[in-house]
Amino acid sequence: MSICCVVGLGYIGLPTAAVLARAGHRVIGVDVNAHVVATVNEGRIHIVEPDLDQAVAAAVASGSLSAHLTPATADVFLIAVPTPFCSGADGIPQPNIDYVLAAARAIAPVLRPGNLVLLESTSPVGTTEQVAVLIFEACGLSSEQLHIAYCPERVLPGRILQELISNDRVIGGLTPAAAEAGKAFYASFCQGELLATTARTAELVKLTENSFRDVNIAFANELSLVCEHLGINVRELIRLANHHPRVNVLQPGCGVGGHCIAVDPWFIAAAAPHCTPLIQSARRVNDGKSRWVFEQVQARATDLESQLGRPVRIGCLGLAFKPDVDDLRESPALHITTELLVAGLDVLACEPNLLDHPTIKLHELEQVLAEADLLVFLVAHSPFKGLDLTGRNVFDLCGVTEQV
């Protein structure tokens, strides 16, 4: 087995480090956050993911996983750092790969001939090539001495530990030899099919997967607006439509969040703005759904206030971007709740997967149910299912009150 240096101990890097350690590798975890490093070295975790706490505790206790602030010599280097976006021209956000390039600079001094460097961060097309240029210039090695490849993660939060092992992987090498080296490494812990291609193709594969989902969710979100206008239950509509053997409409929500689906389509649009009207439109439909929800909550609160003859309290249930995780990245639920607070409304926010939030006061579910006049379900967290809501004013954006 190999010595693996995993750079970035976040939502992907830490579970990957735990899986590698369990597969028999010696893992050096690296993060720039000293608190994260200390937490991991204590055998604890700083994120919410089922079974991750036990996996990390076991890996640290066995000595197969340790965390550090800087990289060390290893056989395999795996980069799993954020790739956010920033504002750009023509309303198209631009990808920011500064963290990826910083990680490449950090590992360059400890690279040796024969090493394998894998980029897993979701990246715009051409990023792996930029990483290679930076590394080759910094360490003096060549593509014959160093294998560099791109292999995007494709896991679902809440199922990361299972899907890191079971999902197929696309491995794009800068050279055929790099792709094969990547396949050999992933074969040490992956049970899914390992598919070799070029780095550029692999980069676009990941962006395509999430853009496909974004476009389909936009269709569902647009249907939800149509159904609201026509007085039709959108979830019943979709359930019945999906009985067609070649139809599979996804479910609407209060928008689209997470670091992948809400971000990746812009990476394609930024690279080819004149070729992507559908992708850009889908992004705007999904972002616009959050604004529609905000306006709907305001209107419902105003109507209820006139009925009650007093100010109303709004219970916002869920802040994360998806059910049963603590991940707030690009969360439409968090955005909606923040906008309601900024608008001066009396909001009781509940996020059962967080202990606190830097700007929003969190409340227990029992208090929100007891004190809120209008319950707005933004995320279908498990604790929100099966509640007795008889006689309550409910605005359900995630279908949680319809689940049995």
Q: Which residues are catalytic?
A: 206, 260
Name the residue with tokens 């369990």: 22
Please list, in sequence order, all residues whose beta carbon lies within 8 angstroms of the beta carbon of residue 341, skipping any fewer than 6 positions away.
347, 360
Please list, in sequence order, all residues whose beta carbon lies within 8 angstroms of the beta carbon of residue 297, skipping any fewer than 6 positions away.
314, 336, 340, 345, 374, 376, 395
Cα–Cα dist 388/386, whole Å: 7
Cα–Cα dist 319/141, whole Å: 46
Please list, in sequence order, all residues whose beta carbon lies within 8 angstroms of the beta carbon of residue 130, skipping any fewer than 6 positions away.
97, 101
Cα–Cα dist 49/324, whole Å: 9
Cα–Cα dist 152/170, whole Å: 7
Long-range contacts of 237-244 (CB under 8 A, 24+ apart): none
- Compute the Cα dihedral for 286, 287, 291, 294 and give only its sign: positive
The residue among 24, 35, 33 whose CA lies nearest residue 59 is 24
- Compute the Cα dihedral for 109, 112, 114, 115 and give only its sign: negative
Angle at 265 between CA 263 and CA 269, to 5 degrees: 120
Cα–Cα dist 65/320, whole Å: 29
